[in-house]
Chain A
Amino acid sequence: MKRALAVALVLTLLATMVAGCGATPEPGVVEKVVTQVVEVQKEVTRVVEGPPVVQTVVETQVVEVTSTPEPIPEQAQACPYTGGTLVRAIGVAPSKMDPLTSNWMTEGTGGIYETLVTRNPKDGSWQPGLAESWEMSSDGLAWTFHLRKGVKFHDGTPFNADAVKFYVDKSKEPAFLFGWLFTTLESAEVVDDYTVILHLSGPAPNLLHSLSTIYAGIPSPTAWEKLGEDYGNVSAVGTGPYIFESLESDVLRIARNEDYAWAPQWAWNQGPPCVDTIEYRYIPDSAALVAALEAGDVHMTSEVPPSSVEQLLSNPDIRVQTVAGWGSDFVTLLPNPPLDDIVVRKALSHSLDRDTTIQVVWRGYAQPMDSFLPTQMAGYYDGGKEATAYDPKLAADLFAQAGYTKGSDGILEKDGKDLVLEIVTPTDTTYRRWAETMQAQLREVGVDTTVKAMEWGARDGYVSQPGNGHLSLTLYVWDHISILNFFFHSANIPLPNLNRLNDPKVDALLEAAGSAKSEKEMFQITDELQKYLTDLYLWIPVATPNQIWAFRKEVGGFYPSFFQEGSTMSYQGGVYLSQ
C-alpha cells in the first residue's frame, strides 16, 4: 500500500524542468527535540443552536522547545565512533537501483552513487561534487565541468570524462525516465580525462539542480554494460561512500567503501563512512515500524506517522526531529460543472479552514500553504494569501453571487437542485481523514459532499476522465519550482494536469521560464505565471506535511534534510553509531 503511494509520489515527482533555482532556499528546519507536555486552559466557543456558549477546557499540548539535536560537527573531523551496522527503516520496498532506468530510487542509492553537483543540506546551495568546478559559456549553451581526480568506481573503473559522457549518452535513450531533467542537453564532449563540456540546445537555468538529483547519479560504465538488464538488481556500482552488498527480501545492504576520499567539501566526514554497513529495511506497517524503532531493531527512519510522534517523544532513547517538507497536499478543483464557474471555485477556496485541518489530519506536523510552492522554496509566490484565506462569510457571499440560495436543510441550492460535490481521495488513512474533515467544513458553508475513496491507480484513471469528481485530494513531493510545468502545461493533460488547463498564455510563460537567461529573469516570469494561475482558482493549497525523522539516541552525524524524498542526492557518509 505504501508502495502504491510511492508510485503516486514518483508520478508526482516527474516534472519538466522549466525553471531553475540556484538561489539558496532556507530549509526551515523545525527542530523539536525537547518537548514538554503541559496543561493549558483554553476558552472554546461552542455554538450549539442559539447563543454561543463559552467553555473553559483543559487540554494537554505538546510545547515545542527548539534546541539543536545531536550537533553535526561544524568542521571536518574524523569519525568519533567507527563500526557497527546502522539499520534504517524505509516505507517503500527497495527496488532496482539504476539511475538510467529506474522510476524510483530507494534511499540507499544516495550512499552508492554520486553526482557532479551536490547540494549543501545546511543552506541548499549548489556545491562541487564529482565536478570540482564548472563554468557556463556566455550564451548559456555550453557548460564546462572540471572533474575531480583520483575518483574510482567500486569496481575499480576510474571516474573520468568518459564516464560522464557514458551517462549523458545513455540518458538520451527512452529507457531513461527522467529525460525531462535534461530537455535541452544535446551531448557531452570529452576534452581530456578530467574535462567535459555539456552542450545544450537552449539555456537551462535548472541544469545544476538536475545534475544534483538522484537520477543524475553516475554509474560505472563497465558494470552497467556488463550486467545489462540485471544492472541495479544484482549489483549497483557508483563512486559513493558505500558499496552495494545485497538486495533481497526487501532488505538492501550497503557497506563502507574503504577507498572513499572524495566527500563533498561541506561534509564533516571527508574520509570513508563511520559505520561498517547500512541496512535499509522495508517495514510497510507504520505501527510496526514505530515498534521496531522503540525496540531498537531499527536505528532511524523518516517514516514516522504524525500520530506516533508524542509516543516517541516520551521515549528517552529516541530523538524526533521534524523538517519542513518540500511539496504540497492540495485540493484540485476538477473542471466539472458546477466548478466550471470560477465564482464557485472562489467560494470553495474560502471555505476550508487550514489550521483545523492540519491539527486533525497531520496532528499539527504540517505547514499551512497559501500558494503553489512551500514558502521556503525559491520562487515561492507570496500573493496567494488573500485568494486562499479562510473566510466563510465571503464564501457565503460568493455562493450567493453564483446564484445559490440556502434551502431549509441548510444546503445551498440552485434551480431547485442541491449543491452536491464529490471528493475523490486515495484510500490511505491520512487522506480519508482529510476528506472527512473537508466534508464537515464544506457542510458548514452549505455544500453537501460525497466521498469517493479509491486506491491510487484507480483514482488516476477516474479523475483523468472528464465529468468525474469535483474535489481531488492531490499531492506532490518535489524541491523545485519546475513542478508548475508538471501540473499546468497543456502537454500534461489529463494527468498530471488534472485541471485540464489548456491555456496558451500559461504554456508560453512556462516555456519562457524554462529558457530564461538568468534566475532573476526566470523568477520574474514565474511570479507572473503564479499570479495568473492564482486568479484562475485551480487548486486550494492546504498544507505541506513535515518530514518526521526519528533516531535512536546512539545515532549521530546525520544530516536530516529535505532532500531525502527521491529528488536531490543525499550524502550519508557522516552517520555514526555511538554504541
Chain B
Amino acid sequence: VQMHPAKRLLFYATELFIASVLVFAVIHLIPGDPMNLIVRPNSPREVREAARQRLGLDKPLPEQYLLFLSSAVRGDFGRSLAFKTPVSKVIGDRVIPTLQLTFAGLVLSYLIAIPLGIVAAIRPRTWIDLMSMTAALVGICVPAFWLALMLIILFGVKLGWLPTTGYGGPRHFVLPVVTLAVGGVGMNARMMRSSMLEVLSQDYVVVARSKGLPERMVLMRHALKNALLPMIALLGMRIGWLIGGDVIIEFVFAWPGLGRLLVDSIMTRDYPVFQATMLIIVTSVILSNIVADLLYSRVDPRISHG
C-alpha cells in the first residue's frame, strides 16, 4: 500500500483517536461501579455521590471522554483508583519488566525459528523438515500456562536450578523467556519455512543457481533477504503485543508486567489505569506498524514511499 507520508500520518492519528474512543467506551459501558472500590458500600448515598463527583465520574460520558482526552494529550492520566498512585507511576513500574521479558522472548524465538525454518525449507520433505516442523507444531500447541508450570516444577522444584517465580536477576528471566519463546517459535518457524520455500522456487533463484553461485551464497544473499520480508511484517504485528505483555506468562511467573495490570484494571474497574494501558498498547502497535513499513522499504527497495 503506497501512501503519502502526510496522508499516512493523518491515517494513524485517526486510528489512534478511534481507538481512544473505543477504549473509553468499553471500560465505561461494562457493568460494575468503581465506587464499590472507593467508597464503603454502606455509606450514605450522598457520600457515594460526593466521591463520584470528586472523580468527575458523575458527568455525562462524552464530557468525561473529552476531559480524559485533554489531560491524556498532556500526558496526565490521573491517579489509579485501586493503587491511589499516579497512573504514570503504576504503568512506569511495569513497562521495563514487560519489555525486558517480551523482547528477550521475541529475540530467542526468532533465533530459533529462523534457522529452523531455513533448514526445513532447504531440505523439504526430509526427516529434518519433519522433525523441525513437528517441533514447531508442538510449540504452537502446548498451552503456555501448562508449559510454564512444567518448567517451574522441573527446573525450579525438582532440579532447583532456577527461581520458580518473580522478577529479579538474569536467572529469573530464563523460564519465562523460554516459555514465551516456545510459543513464538512454532509460528515463526512455519512462516519462515513457507516463505523460504516460495522464494526458492522463484526464477531469480534458479538463475542464481544456474550462474554457478555457491549454494550458500544463493541462500544467504538472494533467497534469505526476500524470505525475511513476511517475517518483518509479522514482527511489526508482534511488537504491539509485546508491549501489552503476555497475561498468562506474567500471571504464572508473578511477573510485574502490563498484561496482568491490564486484566486487573478491568476486574477492579480501575478506569484510569485501563485507559492509559490500552492507549499505550494501541500507540505502540501503530508505531510498530510504522517501523515495520520503514524496515520493509529498506529491505525491499520495490516498496517505497512516494
Which residue numbers of A lie inside 8 Å of B, CB to CB?
1, 3-4, 7, 11, 14-16, 93, 95-96, 101-103, 174, 177-180, 229-230, 232-233, 248-251, 281-285, 287-289, 291-292, 294-297, 455-458, 460-462, 485-486, 489, 491-492, 495-496
Question: Which of B36, B149, B156 counts the most A-chain CB atoms under 10 A from its CB?
Answer: B36
Can you list 18 contacts pairing A with B, beta carbon distance less than 8 Å?
Answer: A1-B267, A3-B82, A7-B267, A11-B36, A95-B84, A96-B85, A229-B79, A230-B85, A233-B85, A251-B166, A281-B166, A284-B260, A292-B156, A457-B33, A461-B33, A462-B31, A496-B41, A496-B42
- Is A292 a contact of B31 with CB atoms below 8 Å? no
Residue of B84, B97, B156 near A232 (CB, 8 A) is B84
- Is B157 a contact of A291 with CB atoms below 8 Å? yes
- Is B42 a contact of A180 with CB atoms below 8 Å? yes
Considering the chains assembled together, what is the distance between the CA atoms of A101 and B37 in angstroms? 12
Given A95-B84, A458-B30, is A495 in contact with B36 using a C-beta cutoff of 8 Å? yes
Question: Which residues 251-277 of B sit at the A interface, judged by CB distance below 8 A?
Answer: 251-254, 256, 260, 263-264, 267-269
- Is A456 a contact of B267 with CB atoms below 8 Å? yes
Residue of A174, A230, A485, A491 near B50 (CB, 8 A) is A174
What is the chain A residue whose CB lies nearest that of B30? A458
Chain B residues with CB under 8 Å of A16's CB are: 42
Q: How far is the CB of A149 from chain B (nearest CB, A)?
A: 34
- Answer yes or no: B163 CB below 8 A from chain A CBs: yes
Considering the chains assembled together, what is the distance between the CA atoms of A15 and B41 in angstroms? 9
Chain B residues with CB under 8 Å of A458's CB are: 30-32
Chain B residues with CB under 8 Å of A95's CB are: 82-84
- Is B268 a contact of A7 with CB atoms below 8 Å? yes
Considering the chains assembled together, what is the distance between the CA atoms of A495 and B153 in angstroms? 42
Residue of B42, B51, B89 near A174 (CB, 8 A) is B51
- Is A457 a contact of B254 with CB atoms below 8 Å? no
Considering the chains assembled together, what is the distance between the CA atoms of A248 and B85 in angstroms? 12
- Is B252 a contact of A179 with CB atoms below 8 Å? no
Given A291-B152, A295-B164, is A229 in contact with B39 using a C-beta cutoff of 8 Å? no
> 7 nearest interchain CB pairs?
A457-B32, A4-B267, A461-B31, A249-B256, A292-B164, A283-B254, A492-B42
Chain A residues with CB under 8 Å of B152's CB are: 288, 291, 295
Chain A residues with CB under 8 Å of B269's CB are: 457
Q: How far is the CB of A90 from chain B (nearest CB, A)?
A: 10
Considering the chains assembled together, what is the distance between the CA atoms of A283 and B148 in angstroms? 14
Given A4-B264, A457-B31, A492-B42, is A174 in contact with B47 using a C-beta cutoff of 8 Å? yes
Given A291-B164, A455-B267, A461-B31, is A249 in contact with B36 using a C-beta cutoff of 8 Å? no
Q: How far is the CB of A244 from chain B (nearest CB, A)?
A: 15
- Is B268 a contact of A3 with CB atoms below 8 Å? yes
Chain B residues with CB under 8 Å of A288's CB are: 148-149, 152, 164-165, 252-254
Considering the chains assembled together, what is the distance between the CA atoms of A378 and B85 in angstroms? 39
Q: How far is the CB of A228 from chain B (nearest CB, A)?
A: 12
Chain A residues with CB under 8 Å of B33's CB are: 457, 460-461
- Is B149 a contact of A291 with CB atoms below 8 Å? yes
Residue of A1, A101, A233, A294 near B263 (CB, 8 A) is A1
What is the chain B residue whose CB lies nearest that of A249? B256
Extra pairs beyond A1-B251, A458-B30 (8, CB < 8 Å) = A232-B84, A233-B89, A292-B164, A294-B157, A296-B160, A457-B267, A461-B33, A489-B42
What is the chain A residue whose CB lies nearest that of B254? A283
Given A281-B254, A282-B254, is A291 in contact with B153 using a C-beta cutoff of 8 Å? yes
Question: Which residues 127-157 of B sit at the A interface, judged by CB distance below 8 A?
Answer: 145, 148-149, 152-153, 156-157
Question: Which of A251, A287, A291 counts the most B-chain CB atoms under 10 A from its CB?
Answer: A291
Chain B residues with CB under 8 Å of A102's CB are: 84
- Is A250 a contact of B254 with CB atoms below 8 Å? yes
- Is B252 a contact of A248 with CB atoms below 8 Å? no
Chain B residues with CB under 8 Å of A11's CB are: 36, 41
Given A495-B41, A496-B41, is A284 in contact with B164 using a C-beta cutoff of 8 Å? no
- Is B252 a contact of A285 with CB atoms below 8 Å? yes
- Answer yes or no: B63 CB below 8 A from chain A CBs: no
Considering the chains assembled together, what is the distance between the CA atoms of A73 and B43 in angstroms? 44
What is the chain B residue whose CB lies nearest that of A13? B40
- Answer yes or no: B167 CB below 8 A from chain A CBs: yes
Given A1-B263, A174-B47, A292-B164, is A457 in contact with B256 using a C-beta cutoff of 8 Å? no
Residue of B32, B44, B156 near A295 (CB, 8 A) is B156
- Is B165 a contact of A96 with CB atoms below 8 Å? no
Chain A residues with CB under 8 Å of B44's CB are: 491
Chain B residues with CB under 8 Å of A7's CB are: 36-37, 82, 267-268
Residue of A14, A233, A462 near B41 (CB, 8 A) is A14
- Is A103 a contact of B254 with CB atoms below 8 Å? no
Chain A residues with CB under 8 Å of B32's CB are: 457-458, 460-461
Considering the chains assembled together, what is the distance between the CA atoms of A295 and B156 in angstroms? 6
Q: How far is the CB of B80 from chain A (nearest CB, A)?
A: 9
Chain A residues with CB under 8 Å of B157's CB are: 291, 294-295
Chain B residues with CB under 8 Å of A233's CB are: 83-85, 89
Chain A residues with CB under 8 Å of B264's CB are: 1, 3-4, 93
Residue of A457, A486, A495 near B268 (CB, 8 A) is A457
Chain A residues with CB under 8 Å of B89's CB are: 233
Residue of B42, B167, B252 near A491 (CB, 8 A) is B42
Considering the chains assembled together, what is the distance between the CA atoms of A221 and B157 in angstroms? 46
Q: How far is the CB of B101 from chain A (nearest CB, A)?
A: 12
What is the chain B residue whose CB lies nearest that of A297? B164
- Is B166 a contact of A229 with CB atoms below 8 Å? no
Considering the chains assembled together, what is the distance between the CA atoms of A297 and B47 in angstroms? 45
Q: How far is the CB of A206 from chain B (nearest CB, A)?
A: 15
Chain A residues with CB under 8 Å of B165's CB are: 281, 283, 285, 288-289, 291-292, 297
Considering the chains assembled together, what is the distance between the CA atoms of A294 and B167 in angstroms? 18
- Is A460 a contact of B36 with CB atoms below 8 Å? yes
Chain B residues with CB under 8 Å of A456's CB are: 267
Considering the chains assembled together, what is the distance between the CA atoms of A460 and B164 in angstroms? 35
Q: How far is the CB of B26 from chain A (nearest CB, A)?
A: 13
- Is A101 a contact of B156 with CB atoms below 8 Å? no
- Answer yes or no: B93 CB below 8 A from chain A CBs: yes
Considering the chains assembled together, what is the distance between the CA atoms of A249 and B257 in angstroms? 8
Considering the chains assembled together, what is the distance between the CA atoms of A356 and B156 in angstroms? 36
- Answer yes or no: B38 CB below 8 A from chain A CBs: yes
Q: How far is the CB of A236 from chain B (nearest CB, A)?
A: 13
Chain A residues with CB under 8 Å of B163's CB are: 295, 297
What is the chain B residue whose CB lies nearest that of A465? B31
Considering the chains assembled together, what is the distance between the CA atoms of A7 and B51 in angstroms? 18
Question: Which residues 76-124 of B sit at the A interface, judged by CB distance below 8 A?
Answer: 79, 82-85, 89, 93-94, 97
Considering the chains assembled together, what is the distance between the CA atoms of A328 and B263 in angstroms? 27
Question: Which of A174, A233, A284, A456 counts the most B-chain CB atoms under 10 A from its CB?
Answer: A284
Q: How far is the CB of B110 from chain A (nearest CB, A)?
A: 27
Considering the chains assembled together, what is the distance between the CA atoms of A50 and B127 in angstroms? 59
What is the chain B residue whose CB lies nearest that of A496? B41
Q: How far is the CB of B205 from chain A (nearest CB, A)?
A: 48
Given A457-B31, A489-B42, A491-B42, is A101 in contact with B84 using a C-beta cutoff of 8 Å? yes
Question: Which residues 25-60 of B sit at the A interface, judged by CB distance below 8 A?
Answer: 30-33, 36-44, 47, 50-51
- Is B84 a contact of A457 with CB atoms below 8 Å? no
Considering the chains assembled together, what is the distance between the CA atoms of A232 and B84 in angstroms? 9
- Is A297 a contact of B40 with CB atoms below 8 Å? no
Q: How far is the CB of B280 from chain A (nearest CB, A)?
A: 18
Considering the chains assembled together, what is the distance between the CA atoms of A281 and B163 in angstroms? 13
Chain B residues with CB under 8 Å of A248's CB are: 93
What is the chain A residue whose CB lies nearest that of B44? A491
Chain A residues with CB under 8 Å of B145's CB are: 285
Chain A residues with CB under 8 Å of B31's CB are: 457-458, 461-462
What is the chain A residue whose CB lies nearest that of B81? A103
What is the chain B residue whose CB lies nearest that of A486? B42
